């Protein structure tokens, strides 16, 4: 039984046909890397999975819930699907700890004591146990992104979507964020990442999805896909980025 | 004929300045409340509501405040609603400032990155929770300085209410000039009193602006 099931979805921006019948199945605990050139539709696909973008045809089911354009259903869905963004999107007027505590308090109705303890635990898990009271502005990019991951985890999602989460980071800070993802994989978290980190996709990811012109062009176990790409598009993409 | 000493002039102007202050306060509070409602309604992104608010703002920003005062005072009495200068001035200044304050505040909300809304949505926050805990606290911080700055415009705008017979600072100045024939002295005092009201507000706005820039 797949945790995320995407069935022939089509997405248009006005006249622009961005996703042209995409299929994807993700099993629980699987780490899927979506790669491809910019404009290939990979971020759009990711944003369709949690309803940030509406799609026009096809169906997406996550954790037995259909992803539909309905405010209430999307809010329920957000408990199963977490998301981490390229630009962190932390709340700058709150400390790291408050960022993590906010949704559990408001959405799950946790009391302050429980959510505080849980937030502290999560910050420790991403290596920021001493940064509970720090404001995002006083943290490095890598630290901010790890707070953002902790914030998503606070809602205990079944699947975590990562939208180019290392692209805005200085090269020396990428490693600390990827380490957290590896740790999550080891704990059995399901991850779907849009990424430019090919080494990470190959070494840590289970499955690679190569998107091209709004379609899943090639997909398979990551070691195989990187070792022997079948299509000329993927071959030229891999030789360009590796 | 009665003689006016300088003190008499000043005393009468000071008494009239109370009404300038009170009218400014009414316009600012009323305009703030209406402007806040407009801003919240606009952020729902319903095309019909937004279109209506856009037209409202265009109407009040695109016509002179003086015409709005005339319409509220003379126009309403033409269709049989009797309004006194207080009501007319309070009403038109409230509507006028609500349009401008709404534009200022909407700008502050729009200035926040879209990612803040998206982060809230993916965390499952409702619209009201997003507004209350994430958007408004940040928007307020950047809105304070331009809002205080606009209050200076309101104070000066109340001078127009003198046209419809509302006795505030400017109208009192006109009346005293008619009685004393000392326009330079009288209107210099009037100007000085406006300055005394507005300058601290400007300073305060500048102070707030510097403060918000530091924390950013």
ipTM attached to this prediction: 0.92
State the SS3 of B98-112: HHHHHHHHHHHHHCC
DSSP sequence for B99-158: HHHHHHHHHHHHTS-HHHHHHHHHHT--HHHIIIIIIHHHHHHHHHHHHHHHHHHHHHHG
CA gap B215, B145 in Å, rounded: 14
CA gap A46, A24 in Å, rounded: 11
pLDDT at site B117: 95
Whether residue B32 is contained in a domain is answered as yes
Whether residue B1 is contained in a domain is answered as no
A91/B123 Cβ within 8 A: no
- Structure tokens given for B37: 């409602």
Tell me how many domains chain B contains.
1
Which long-range contacts (C-beta less than 8 Å, at least 24 apart) are formed by A173-179? A173/A140, A173/A141, A173/A142, A174/A142, A176/A127, A176/A142, A176/A143, A176/A146, A177/A142, A177/A145, A177/A146, A177/A149, A178/A204
- Structure tokens given for A225: 């896909």
Cα maximum dimension of chain B: 78
Domain around B11:
6-215
A83/B122 Cβ within 8 A: yes
Alpha carbon of A191: minimum distance to chain B alpha carbons (Å): 15
A222 shares contact with chain B (CB less than 8 Å)? no
A155/B121 Cβ within 8 A: no
pLDDT at site B216: 44
B137/A75 Cβ within 8 A: no
A152 shares contact with chain B (CB less than 8 Å)? yes
Alpha carbon of B215: minimum distance to chain A alpha carbons (Å): 10
Return phi, psi of residue B138, to 5°: -75, -40
A159 shares contact with chain B (CB less than 8 Å)? no
- The enclosing domain of B52 has a CATH number of 1.10.3720.10
pLDDT at site B102: 96
Q: What is the pLDDT along chain B (216 residues), one digit of tens a residue?
A: 567 888 988 999 999 999 999 999 999 999 999 999 999 898 888 899 999 999 999 999 999 999 999 998 988 888 888 888 889 999 999 999 999 999 999 999 999 999 999 999 999 999 889 999 999 999 988 898 899 989 999 999 999 988 888 888 999 999 999 989 999 999 999 999 999 999 999 999 888 877 765 444
> A34 and A42 in contact (C-beta within 8 Å)?
yes
pLDDT at site A69: 78
Alpha carbon of B72: minimum distance to chain A alpha carbons (Å): 42
Out of A87, A91, A107, the one facing B124 most closely (by C-beta) is A107
- Residues in chain A predicted with pLDDT less than 70, given as ranges, are none
């Amino acid at each position: 039984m797949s945790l995320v099931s995407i069935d022939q979805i089509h997405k248009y921006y006005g006249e622009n046909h961005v996703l042209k019948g995409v299929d994807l199945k993700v099993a629980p605990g699987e780490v899927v890397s979506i790669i491809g050139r910019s404009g290939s539709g990979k971020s759009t696909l990711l944003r369709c999975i949690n309803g940030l973008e509406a799609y026009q045809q096809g169906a997406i089911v996550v954790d037995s819930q259909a992803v539909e354009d309905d405010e209430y259903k999307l809010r329920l869905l957000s408990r199963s699907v977490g998301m981490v963004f390229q630009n962190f999107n932390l709340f700058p007027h709150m400390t790291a700890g408050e960022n993590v505590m906010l949704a559990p308090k408001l959405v799950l109705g946790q009391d302050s004591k429980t959510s505080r303890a849980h937030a502290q635990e999560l910050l420790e898990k991403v290596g920021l146990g001493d940064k509970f009271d720090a404001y995002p502005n006083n943290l490095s990019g890598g630290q901010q992104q790890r707070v953002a991951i902790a914030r998503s985890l606070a809602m205990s999602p079944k699947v975590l979507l990562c939208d180019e989460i290392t692209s805005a980071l200085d090269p020396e800070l990428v490693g600390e964020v990827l380490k957290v993802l590896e740790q999550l994989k080891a704990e059995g978290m399901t991850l779907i990442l849009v990424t430019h980190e090919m080494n990470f996709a190959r070494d840590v990811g289970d499955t690679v999805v190569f998107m091209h012109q709004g379609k899943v062009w090639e997909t398979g176990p990551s070691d195989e896909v990187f070792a022997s790409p079948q299509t000329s598009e993927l071959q030229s993409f891999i030789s360009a980025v590796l | 004929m009665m003689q006016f000493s300088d003190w008499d002039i000043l005393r009468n102007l000071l008494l009239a300045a109370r009404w300038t202050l009170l009218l400014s306060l009414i316009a600012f509070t009323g305009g703030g409340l209406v402007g806040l409602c407009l801003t919240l309604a606009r952020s729902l992104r319903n095309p019909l509501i937004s279109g209506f608010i856009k037209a409202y703002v265009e109407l009040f920003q695109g016509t002179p405040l003086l015409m709005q005062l005339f319409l509220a005072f003379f126009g309403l009495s033409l269709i049989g609603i009797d309004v006194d200068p207080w009501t007319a001035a309070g009403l038109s200044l409230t509507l006028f400032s609500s349009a401008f304050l709404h534009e200022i505040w909407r700008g502050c909300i729009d200035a926040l990155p879209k990612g803040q809304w998206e982060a809230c949505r993916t965390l499952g926050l409702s619209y009201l929770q997003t507004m209350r805990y994430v958007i408004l606290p940040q928007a307020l911080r950047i809105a304070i300085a331009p809002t205080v700055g606009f209050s200076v415009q309101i104070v000066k705008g109340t001078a127009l209410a003198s046209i419809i017979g509302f006795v505030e600072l400017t109208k009192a100045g006109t009346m005293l000039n008619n009685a004393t024939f000392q326009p330079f002295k009288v209107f210099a005092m009037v100007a000085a009193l406006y300055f005394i009201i507005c300058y601290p507000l400007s300073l305060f706005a500048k102070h707030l602006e510097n403060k918000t820039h530091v924390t950013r």
